[in-house]
Structure formats: structure tokens, C-alpha cells
Amino acid sequence: MAKDTYMIKKILLIGGKRTHVLLTNGNSEIFESSSKNKMEEFVEVLNENTDSGCFYEVITIKNH
């Protein structure tokens, strides 16, 4: 069975509506990892340092 993949979703409030955006790397590719712990640690840092009112969460992509 293939391993799950983890991505980071940024959630912004724009005009009272939630907008969901996947985090990308420097090459405009979706940032992903097979390490859930790595992604959770990164999300914790992002959420501690955000000043724009947005927040981040890890999403799981099931690879079957």
C-alpha cells in the first residue's frame, strides 16, 4: 500500500468568506511531504508567526 501524502492548506478570510489555498514551494509546485510530523511542526511555526489573520492546517491525501 502506498504511503499517504501531506500538504498544507492556508485558510484566509476575505470579505467574510473563507478561502482555501494550498501552500506552494518556490517553483509554484504544491508543497508536499510523506512526513506528517514534519508538516505538523511547520504548520505550528506558520500559525505562531502569522499576522494576517489566516491560519494553516495539514491535510492528508490518501494514496491507494
Mean pLDDT in order along the chain per 10 residues (64 residues): 87 90 94 96 94 92 87
Q: What is the pTM for the complete model shown?
A: 0.86
Is residue 49 packed enough to be buried (19+ CB in 10 Å), middle (13-18) or exposed (0-12)? exposed
Q: Cell 492528508 belongs to which residue? A: 60
CA torsion angle 28 21 8 49 (round to 10):
100
CA 39 to CA 42: how far, in whole Å? 5
pLDDT score of 52: 81
* pLDDT in the model for residue 44: 97
Q: Which residues contact 26 (CB under 8 A, 6 or more apart)?
A: none
